[in-house]
């Protein structure tokens, strides 16, 4: 059986799951497929079994009888275990019934139970049984050791070896290490959309924090034990992703102010009513009456003035001022006569 330049993706424009895979599978060979979760192991097994067609490339030389056990068996079916296996035997043309598979897989007590009532491990046994029923020339098992009891985990490698001994091709995806005791297992790994010879070795990074003065010493010990060790400079700063506590208020938080709010209340003013005076005040545009002055008790004055009166000269009109004259004037004669 041969895969030639096989590529696959689930949608027309989706990402590639596998790219240009080339793989030869020979009769009587047991192939163990390893790789991280999501690398494409299950997709590869489905293409080998014929459940998926490659997007590009070709699969040739597939045996006529294929047994395929998926990682998760579909239990949502209206059958008991016995009825389901009997129906599968008729479909696959198996005439001798279940044979000794129920005893070897430890599922005799499960035959009368409905499929939907089975646990994951029990359902997995049913999937293995239906794949082994037709004595396949190509047996595809996706994580067959997951959830199995001790008895079945010990018996399944023996069954796998028997299929290979009958010139069948067996391809197993295994994370449990169930094939360690099986001789002549050929490991292949799926990584980076490709399939390569050898087991996939998963790696992890372990960070060790030590004092700066001992960093080189610890790194040298790790390298001596076969590990890859790198030293990074120490720092007292917080990690880059650690949030920094600040006391500033949020940018959108309103600030409280003590300024008085603007008011639209009217200002009260008191004005006199139009059209009439205010009580106690004279009307506008009318003269204010004044009290008459009492008549003066002084005798009327003459232009020349009276004896004993004195007037400032600047207070009299020019015509009322006495004209200066020589001594012995008429005024002097008059005053003399009055005496």
Query: Could you say which of 3.30.70.3040, 3.40.50.720, 3.40.50.300, 1.10.3720.10 is the CATH number of the domain covering 2-197?
Result: 3.40.50.300
* The pLDDT value given to residue 219: 82
Domain limits of the chain?
2-197, 204-232
Angle at 197 between CA 183 and CA 24, to 5 degrees: 85
SS3 of residue 24 by DSSP: strand
Written as six digits, the tokens of 43 are 């997709």
124 with 148: CB under 8 angstroms?
Answer: yes
Rounded to an integer, what distance in angstroms lies between the CA atom of residue 55 and that of residue 18? 10
pTM of the predicted model as reported, rounded to 2 decimal places = 0.58
Are 185 and 191 in contact, with CB atoms under 8 Å apart? Answer: no
Written as six digits, the tokens of 110 are 């499960």
Q: What is the dihedral of CA 12, 18, 24, 30, to 10 degrees?
A: -120
Q: Which residue has the tokens 């003035």?
A: 305
Sequence-distant (≥ 6) Cβ neighbours of residue 196 within 8 angstroms = 188, 189
Contacts of 101 by beta carbon, 8 Å cutoff, 6+ apart: 107, 129, 132, 133
pLDDT in tens, the chain (339 residues): 999 999 999 999 899 999 999 999 999 999 999 888 888 899 999 999 999 999 999 999 999 999 999 988 888 899 999 999 999 999 988 888 888 899 999 999 999 999 999 998 899 999 999 999 999 999 999 999 888 888 998 999 999 999 999 999 999 998 777 888 787 888 888 888 788 765 545 556 778 888 888 888 888 787 666 566 778 776 544 555 555 455 555 555 555 555 555 545 555 555 555 555 544 555 555 555 555 555 555 555 444 445 554 444 444 444 444 545 455 555 565 465 555
CA 323 to CA 189: how far, in whole Å?
Answer: 151
Tokens of 317: 């009109």
Measured between alpha carbons, how far is 69 from 124 in angstroms, rounded to an integer? Answer: 8
SS3 breakdown of the chain: % helix, strand, coil, rounded to 5? 25, 15, 60
Per DSSP (E only), the strands in 247-302 are none
329, 335, 275: which is closest to 305 by C-alpha? Answer: 335
Q: C-alpha angle 143/147/151, rounded to 5°?
A: 105
Q: Which two tokens stand for residue 269?
A: 């003013």
Alpha-carbon distance 30 to 337, whole Å? 179
Tell me whether strands 169-173 and 30-34 are parallel, antiparallel or unpaired.
parallel
Question: Does residue 98 contact residue 133 with C-beta atoms inside 8 Å?
Answer: yes
């Amino acid at each position: 059986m041969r895969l030639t330049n096989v590529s696959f993706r689930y949608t027309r424009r989706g990402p590639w799951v596998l790219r240009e895979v080339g793989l030869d599978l020979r009769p009587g060979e047991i192939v163990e497929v390893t790789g991280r979760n999501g690398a494409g192991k299950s997709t590869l097994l489905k293409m080998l079994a014929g459940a998926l067609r490659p997007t590009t490339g070709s699969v040739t030389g597939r045996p006529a009888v294929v047994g395929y056990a998926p990682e998760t068996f579909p239990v949502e079916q209206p059958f008991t275990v016995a009825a389901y296996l009997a129906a599968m035997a008729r479909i696959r043309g198996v005439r001798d019934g279940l044979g000794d598979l129920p005893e070897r897989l430890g599922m005799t007590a499960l035959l009368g139970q409905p499929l939907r009532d089975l646990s994951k491990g029990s359902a997995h046994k049913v999937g293995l049984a239906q794949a082994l029923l037709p004595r396949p020339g190509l047996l595809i098992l996706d994580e067959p050791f997951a959830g199995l009891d001790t008895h079945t985990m010990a018996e399944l490698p023996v069954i796998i070896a028997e299929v290979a001994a009958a010139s069948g091709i067996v391809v197993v995806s295994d994370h449990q290490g169930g094939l360690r005791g099986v001789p002549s297992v050929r490991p292949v790994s799926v990584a980076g959309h490709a399939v390569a010879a050898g087991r996939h070795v998963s790696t992890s990074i372990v960070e060790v924090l030590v004092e700066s003065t001992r960093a080189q010493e610890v790194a040298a010990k790790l390298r001596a034990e076969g590990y890859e060790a790198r030293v990074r400079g120490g720092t007292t700063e917080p990690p880059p992703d650690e949030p920094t506590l600040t006391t500033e208020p949020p940018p959108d938080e309103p600030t409280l102010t003590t300024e008085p709010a603007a008011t639209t209340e009217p200002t009260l003013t008191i004005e006199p009513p139009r059209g009439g005076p205010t009580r106690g005040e004279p009307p506008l545009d009318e003269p204010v009456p004044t009290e008459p002055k009492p008549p003066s008790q002084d005798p009327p004055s003459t232009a020349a003035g009276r004896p004993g009166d004195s007037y400032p000269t600047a207070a009299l009109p020019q015509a009322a001022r006495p004209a200066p004259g020589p001594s012995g004037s008429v005024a002097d004669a008059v005053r003399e006569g009055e005496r």
